[in-house]
Structure formats: structure tokens, C-alpha cells
Amino acid sequence: MSTVLVYSDDDRIRERVRLAIGRRPDPELEPIDFLDAAEGAAVTHTVGQGGIDLCILDGEAKPSGGLGLARELRDEVDDMPATIVLVARRDDAWLGRWSRADALASRRADPVELTDLVIRLLRERAAATSVQAAPGRPELSH
């Protein structure tokens, strides 16, 4: 099961994201278990506990915007999950770079765009996890 944390202070945004993606966006991936967060502190706590594969953060949320949260988490969490930040305008792409999010998506939660990003990032995370857990992998030395 993949765990996706969806953060927004607006429950309609969280609902729109969950509906856009669905529980099984790709038959090659495990079903998604969604966790909702309406406050930035809940995001920080939940991600810090581990077990999150992907965060979808609302860049327009108040008082803690998803852009600032993405940057803060990237600085503080060792096993940082992949991160998508939802932005209202494409002109905010520079803020996405500043936040060090893995991807940006429209806050309108276009189902095709968002699902494609989720599938790509979950596949990348699964591949990275399987490489780390591969038995008999030789150690690298300097």
C-alpha cells in the first residue's frame, strides 16, 4: 500500500485531489491509502513519523503554505517522501524550485496531470526503495 498525505486547509481541495487520483491510479502500483491534513503542524508530525510515500501540499493553504512546508521538510526530514505542490498559477514555478518540491501541479487538480505525476513519483520511490533493499548489493568504498 502506498501512503499519500494530502495537505490543504480547504477540505474541498483535499477531496478534489483524492477524487482526481483515485485509490488505484495504476495497476502496476499498490493501492493508495490517503491521509488528510488540514494544518501544517500535522504534516510536519506525520512526515516525521515516516511511512509516507508522497506528499501533495497546497501551496495556497493558510497559515502554513505548502511551498514553505515542502522546503522545511526537505531541510529537516532524512527520508523525505516525494512532494507535489499545488499552485494556483504556472507563474509560481520559481517558487516550486525554491521549495525544492519534486513537482508542481495545478491547484485545480486536473485529473490527468495530477495522476501522471503521482504515478511517476510513486514508481520512482518504489524503484529507489527496492534498490536500497536489494539483498547482496555490494558495498561501495572510497
Q: Domains (ranges, CATH) in the chain?
A: 2-133 (3.40.50.2300)
- Please give the single-letter amino acid code of residue 141: S
Per residue in 97-117, pLDDT tens? 889 999 999 888 789 999 999
pLDDT digits (tens, 9 = 90+) for 77-102: 988 999 999 998 877 778 878 899 99
Mean pLDDT by 10 residues, the chain (142 residues): 96 95 94 97 96 96 94 92 90 82 88 95 87 49 36
Q: What are phi and psi of 14, to 5 degrees?
A: -60, -45
The dihedral region occupied by 71, where left means phi > 0, alpha psi between -120 and 50, and beta the remainder, is: alpha
pTM higher than the cut 0.75: yes
Query: How far apart (Å, rounded) are the C-alpha atoms in residues 30 and 26?
Result: 8
Q: Write phi, then psi, for 7 (nearest 5 degrees).
A: -115, 125
